[in-house]
Amino acid sequence: MNNARWFEVGAACMAAVTLAWSSFAMAEGAKAACAGDIQKYCANVPEGGGAIAKCLRAHRTDLTPDCQKGMQAVSSQLKEVAMACEDDVHRYCAGSAPGTTKECLKTHFRELSRPCKRDLFEAKRSM
């Protein structure tokens, strides 16, 4: 694979990992910090699939400082997971259908690298 193609696949894989874990995007701490903002801006948004997080991101400039901090913390953690799991996504999930990266990683959990497992565990524990 040439360097340009590797970069494209790498960027796509990192985005896929981040999106795959967006269902975790409302960690309990962030959810509590954003309760008022969720009620104000996202009351009619159904839960699941990262829809509330997407709604909050659409209103990011209007959010309270506590909610912005909570969302930033979740975003940082998701980026860490994406970076730690990038090679694993290339190895095990490159041919997966869009939106199935999370299930692919679950299927291959035993084979995942230690850093990927660690970051996935930490993200799940704190969310």
Residues 89 and 105: beta-carbon distance below 8 Å: yes
Burial 44-62 (b: 16+ CB within 10 A, else e): eeeeeebbbbebbeeeeee
pTM: 0.65
Identify the helix (H) or strand (E) that includes residue 41: helix 35-42
Radius of gyration of the chain, Cα coordinates, nearest whole angstrom:
16
At 5, the pLDDT band (50, 70, 90 cuts) reads very low
Give the pLDDT of residue 8: 43
C-alpha–C-alpha distance, residues 44 and 55, integer Å:
10
Burial environment of residue 87 by CB neighbours within 10 A (0 to 12, 13 to 18, 19 or more): middle
pLDDT tens-place string over residues 22-64 = 444 456 677 888 999 999 999 999 987 778 888 998 999 999 9
- What would the pLDDT profile of 60-111 be if each residue is shown by its tens digit? 999 999 999 988 888 888 888 889 999 999 999 888 887 788 888 889 999 9
